[in-house]
Amino acid sequence: GQSLEQPSEVTAVEGAIVQINCTYQTSGFYGLSWYQQHDGGAPTFLSYNALDGLEETGRFSSFLSRSDSYGYLLLQELQMKDSASYFCAVAAAGNKLTFGGGTRVLVKP
Amino acid sequence: AAGVIQSPRHLIKEKRETATLKCYPIPRHDTVYWYQQGPGQDPQFLISFYEKMQSDKGSIPDRFSAQQFSDYHSELNMSSLELGDSALYFCASSSQRGDETQYFGPGTRLLVL
């Protein structure tokens, strides 16, 4: 089976940097994805890492270390609109996603 | 750009009734996934289809069934509804010929009374 661990909540101020860690245990692994979800909204794809290293997409970056079964999402120059839940998810055989419990990010002025 | 379409967006049913949720994937996407998300929970994988064939099955109750049609749209049929079935149901689509990223629809909010 699959299990993913991420912090339940993070609070930061506008302009700050937040790092959300994700550790996983899987029986099969194709890659680590990150999704953003606002309350009542749909998960929105942010990034995907299949190989070790850092992927940068604007203010958001994602990192993966397969040997450590660990990844993180880095949110830079935080804005109020970044207040949302962030999920890491593992893609396994068949490409089905198993999600972590989600990290609620609260951005304060 | 076209996104995943789900209908209805909201649905209210009584216990023991049936419900049908529809999903229209992004054009040229060949794979559809269904997820269930309870309040404060993470999305749970239910079932997926590739080229109209079931490709994987997760924690989907026997009371639920799904299929993908020739136009690639998918329907999730839910029977003998229970109070615990109240949740957000998301459909996602991807392309096996592309990067396989899953793009989620807006979801159907089902309330069982």
Query: What tens digit of pLDDT does each residue of A41-97 get?
Result: 999 999 999 999 999 989 999 999 999 999 999 999 999 999 999 999 998 777 889
Asked if B43's CB is within 8 angstroms of A97's CB, the reply is yes
Confidence class for position B97, pLDDT limits 50, 70, 90: confident
pLDDT tens by residue, B35-72: 999 999 999 999 999 999 999 999 899 999 999 999 99
Assign B85 to helix, strand or coil. helix
Asked if B106's CB is within 8 angstroms of A41's CB, the reply is yes
Provide the CB-side half-sphere exposure for A65 (13 A, CA). Answer: 7
Asked if A86 is an interface residue toward chain B (Cβ–Cβ < 8 A), one would say no
What is the model's pLDDT at position A48? 93
DSSP state of A14: T
Asked if A102 is an interface residue toward chain B (Cβ–Cβ < 8 A), one would say yes
Provide the shortest C-alpha distance from residue A49 to chain B (in Å): 11
Asked if B55 is an interface residue toward chain A (Cβ–Cβ < 8 A), one would say yes
What is the model's pLDDT at position B70? 94
Size of interface A-B (CB pairs under 8 A): 52
Q: Is the pLDDT of residue B99 over 80?
A: no
Neighboring chain B residues of A102 at a CB cutoff of 8 Å: 42
Neighboring chain A residues of B105 at a CB cutoff of 8 Å: 42
Residues paired with A108 in a beta bridge: A13
What is the model's pLDDT at position A94? 75
What is the model's pLDDT at position A6? 97
Mention every residue, 6+ apart, whose C-beta is less than 8 A from residue A85. A36, A37, A38, A39, A102, A103, A104, A105
Question: Residue B39 region, left (φ>0) first, then alpha (ψ -120 to 50), else beta?
Answer: beta
Provide the shortest C-alpha distance from residue A96 to chain B (in Å): 7
Confidence class for position A98, pLDDT limits 50, 70, 90: very high
- Closest residue on chain B to A32 (Cα): B101
Closest C-alpha to B109, from B5, B7, B16, B15 = B7
What is the model's pLDDT at position B83? 97
Asked if A38 is an interface residue toward chain B (Cβ–Cβ < 8 A), one would say no
Neighboring chain B residues of A99 at a CB cutoff of 8 Å: 42-44
Neighboring chain B residues of A87 at a CB cutoff of 8 Å: 42-43
Asked if A44 is an interface residue toward chain B (Cβ–Cβ < 8 A), one would say yes
pLDDT tens by residue, B1-18: 789 999 999 999 999 999
What is the gyration radius of the CA atoms in chain A, in angstroms? 13
Q: Is the pLDDT of residue B96 over 90?
A: no
What is the model's pLDDT at position A93? 75
